Structure 1
Amino acid sequence: MNIIIKELSNDLFFATAKMLTELMNYHRKLTNAPKEYWQTNEESEKTLREWINEGSIYNIFSDETPVGFFYVRLGGQNVAWLEDMFILEDYRGNGFGKFAMKKLDELMIEKKVVAMFVDVIPRNTSAIKLYKECGFDHLNLIQLRKNYDEKLNKDENIDILGFDFKKY
């Protein structure tokens, strides 16, 4: 198996948008969001166009087959944000994520980035595990959420720094 990372090309735009839909709906499934909040391919195409203007998208390949992507955005003070990373379900657990993170690290060092940030929803424990294994070991920011649609409320609680929150 040969894992390759390449910057998004025009011929992979729609395949990547479809993977973006899978990523967004994977998050919605993790949080038990009602189907009315699930993302469509058309919404993902629009989002991907915005991402192209704001950062860089890289496809992850197994030989010639695109199996995932990551989106990184550079910011001021030589920092970067790993905005999203996705591996198709059939390819998860085979080292694609770790390989992509290694290549991303090389890119960031090449660009003289001094720190990278990533946001993860608390229910995405597999992503948290991957990021922790890849060196993300500083808690930087805690994002709080207030739901106005009661269907989005959760029952499971989590203690963060002595505060009780619903685990999203």
Structure 2
Amino acid sequence: MTLEKANITDNEILTSITKKSKAYWGYSEEQIQKWDKNLTISQDYIRDHNVFKLVDNELILGYYSYVFKDEKVIELDNLFILPEYIGKGFGKYLVLDFLNQIKEEKIERIILDSEPNAENFYVKMGFIKIGEFETSIKGRFMPIMEMKL
């Protein structure tokens, strides 16, 4: 198993992983389609951002991406895993690699908007909830998480 910088040609598989991973939490196909723009990983996105994929025997199991918000803040923008690999330690593996990637930066904090069903995962990884916002689904709130370094 290796972690590699994503290629721009990985955009379709990364988009597929994102949609399948989101659907894992019980969202309907109709809802996934409503979120299509937000769940699509474009070639431009991969070219312009830090995107790393987890590969096992040429199969991409998952990926993460991050964005520098300013010189002291990084946003973990995406972290998605194929549903059959969720709950098997790969998310932790990706977060630890992300933390390793940024360790040389002079970052003071990491932020992210968490899938509500993944909030406990991020808490276990050392993030705290600092807020939330209502999503396009009435009554569904997305946690805003932070890790201070």
Q: Does residue 20 of the first structure (1) align with residue 18 of the second (2)?
A: yes
TM-score by length of 1: 0.68
Deviations 1:15-59 (A, max 9, x none): 112212324444670xxx671x4339x857964235335522111
* Consecutive unaligned residues in structure 2, runs of 5 or more: 142-149
Identical positions, percent = 18
Q: Does residue 132 of the first structure (1) align with residue 123 of the second (2)?
A: yes
1:110 maps to a residue whose letter is: E
Structure-to-structure mapping, 1:65-84, within 5 angstroms: 65-84=59-78
Q: Tell me how far 1:86 sits from its aligned partner.
A: 0.7
Partner residue, 2:56? 62
Secondary structure in 2 matching 1:141: strand
Q: Does residue 104 of the first structure (1) align with residue 102 of the second (2)?
A: no
Greater fraction strand: 2
TM-score by length of 2: 0.75
Deviations 1:61-99 (A, max 9, x none): 234321011121111142111112111111122211101
The count of corresponding residues between Structure 1 and Structure 2 is 140
Deviations 1:118-146 (A, max 9, x none): 11243x1xx21221111112x3232235x
Secondary structure in 2 matching 1:72: strand
Partner residue, 1:52? 46
Instruction: Indicate the RMSD between aligned Cα atoms, in angstroms.
Output: 2.9
* Consecutive unaligned residues in structure 1, runs of 5 or more: 154-165
Select between 72-81 and 98-107 the one with higher mean Cα deviation: 72-81
